[in-house]
Amino acid sequence: MTSKQAENVARFYPEVGAGGFSHVDGTVEFYSRVNALLEPHFTVLDLGAGRGEQLYRDPTSYRTKLTLIKGKVAKLIGVDVDEAVLGNPFLDEAKVIRIGEPYPFADDTFDLIFCDWVLEHVDNPAEFASEIARVLKPGGWLCARTPNRWGMIGLFSSLIPNDAHAGLLAKLQDGRESRDVFPTRYRLNSLARLKRAFPDERWENYSYFSNPEPPYIQRSRLAMRSVFLAWRLAPRHFHTIFNVFMRLK
């Protein structure tokens, strides 16, 4: 974060000075709820774990403590389509998976599955949901954070070709590398689409929308003011982030 961004964030969220995070910090919000669901005996799957870049990049110790799941549960396994996951030091075990192939795990393996910024990349929702339900134990949790299809990020991203995402994000977000940017599909990023893939007959759904600190525009105080005004006027279903929390029956 540049000094200008830090200055703007502190202006709109002065509480950042006490602990390094705002009262609407999206990472703190999501991982606080994930941590609340964890039990020491759990076997947990980090789906889309990558190389752990968020833990490398995030300098805020409290946020990092929440995000780090290894050591809080009996076993944390990470999978990704990218072989970079094999070098992720924040996992107990790592595996590479292939799109369209079953996950390399037995039925009813996991007590909790979490995926952070993954649902927007899913190309086949039915196949994805089927594998999740297969490897998750009855009563197990699926936790995911993803852009809302009808929120600011989702709508803006849909207007930009996928091959332009990496360059644009590098300009808008300091420290973002092109190797951490993947094509977006947004086929699970609304409540209706989520429920089609994860029907109420099989899942208890506790998902909700939220507006954390506005990303990508923190260099401009005017842009931040404009976004806050838009958020004040927009209905809840147009909030920026879709926080998915579902329990398999």
Spatial CA neighbour of 33 closest among 224, 238, 207:
207
Which two three-digit tokens encode residue 113?
Answer: 């599955």
Domain that residue 159 falls in = 3-248
What would the pLDDT profile of 16-69 be if each residue is shown by its tens digit?
A: 899 989 999 999 999 999 999 999 999 999 999 999 988 877 766 899 999 999
Terminal Cα distance for the chain, rounded = 42
In this structure, what are the phi and psi dihedrals at residue 50, rounded to the nearest 5 degrees? Answer: 60, -150
CATH of residue 165's domain is 3.40.50.150
Overall number of domains in the chain: 1
Q: Tens of pLDDT along 80-125?
A: 999 999 999 999 999 999 999 999 999 999 999 999 999 999 999 9
- In the numeric block, the tokens 């999206």 are attached to 26
Q: Whole-model pTM?
A: 0.86
Give one DSSP letter per residue of 13-65, joined into a string: -GGGGTTS--TT-HHHHHHHHHHHH--TT-EEEEET-TT-HHHHH---HHHHH
